[in-house]
């Protein structure tokens, strides 16, 4: 659909003139094709190795007498 086709359709639907619709600034918005909005954490970890390694507290064992 071209901008002119769009303006004609809006004008026909609203009952306004094409000139009025054009002056009001109606325009087509083309949304980009987006992929799924999910994260594959296994894939992320393969690309970026673990940045934080938790420290473990040393285990204290009683001294044998």
∠ CA(56), CA(61), CA(65), 5° rounding? 165
pLDDT of residue 22: 92
Q: pTM of the full predicted structure? A: 0.46
Q: Are 26 and 10 in contact (CB under 8 A)?
A: yes
Tell me, yes or no, whether 50 lies in a domain.
no
- Single out the residue of 42, 38, 58, 60 nearest to residue 50, CA to CA: 42
Is residue 64, in this structure, part of any structural domain at all? no
Alpha carbons 35 and 56: distance in angstroms, whole number: 39
Residue 10 lies in a domain: yes
Write down the pLDDT at residue 33: 79
Within-domain flag for 3: yes
pLDDT in tens, 29-64: 887 877 778 888 888 878 776 666 667 777 888 887
Domain-embedded: residue 46: no
- Interatomic CA distance for residues 29 and 35, integer angstroms: 18
Domain, as residue range, for 4: 1-30
């Amino acid at each position: 659909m071209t901008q002119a086709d769009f303006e004609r359709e809006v004008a026909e639907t609203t009952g306004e003139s094409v000139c009025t619709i054009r002056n009001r600034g109606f325009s087509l918005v083309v949304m980009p094709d987006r992929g799924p909005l999910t994260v594959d954490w296994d894939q992320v970890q393969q690309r970026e190795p673990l940045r934080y390694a938790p420290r473990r507290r040393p285990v204290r064992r009683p001294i044998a007498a």
